[in-house]
Amino acid sequence: MDKLNDEDRKTFAVLADYLIPEYGNKPKATAVGVHQELLDKVLAVRPDLSTDFIRGVRFAAGNDVSDALNTLNKDDRIAFDAITLVATGGYLMSETVREAMGYPGQEPAPYDPHETPEYMTNGMLERVTLRGPIYRPTPRDDD
């Protein structure tokens, strides 16, 4: 597997800023380091994206950003999806971005295992119950 180099990071910085420009109080992608430490964090969490991400970034190197992204979207959707997922994932990992969006991150939700959930009593599941079971049997190995 290829490793990221400085040129890849520079190319990704341009792509990321094109995908996530500064808007209002929200910073552009490179302002929060999406092409640096956040890139490393995303690829550490999702190493399966690395090969497709690098292929897409290297395709875009030296080309017009819009043309490169449009071509990837049309001809190599897997690489395009890897680039956009890495850019948005890294962006949303930034504390600065989460604060600007008013999103505190995941928080624990209170749960009482002895309390009947509202969706069980408010009629929300009635049509499902009336419909009856609908399923596809799972294939068995001995079939």
pLDDT at 35 over 90: yes
pLDDT tens digit sequence for 40-76: 999 999 999 999 999 999 999 999 999 999 999 999 9
pLDDT tens digit sequence for 88-135: 999 999 999 999 999 888 889 888 899 998 888 999 999 888 998 888
Q: Which two tokens stand for residue 16?
A: 């990321």
Q: How many CB atoms lie within 10 A of CB 2?
A: 11
By the 10 Å C-beta count (0-12 exposed, 13-18 middle, 19+ buried), 87 is classed as buried
What's the CA gap between 127 and 129, in Å, rounded? 5
In DSSP notation, 58-91 reads HHHTTS-HHHHHHHHHHH-HHHHHHHHHHHHHHH
pLDDT, position 90: 97
- In this prediction the pTM is 0.75
pLDDT, position 34: 97
Domain ranges across the chain:
6-101
Q: What is the band of 7 on the pLDDT scale with cuts at 50, 70, 90? A: very high
Mean confidence (pLDDT) of the chain = 93
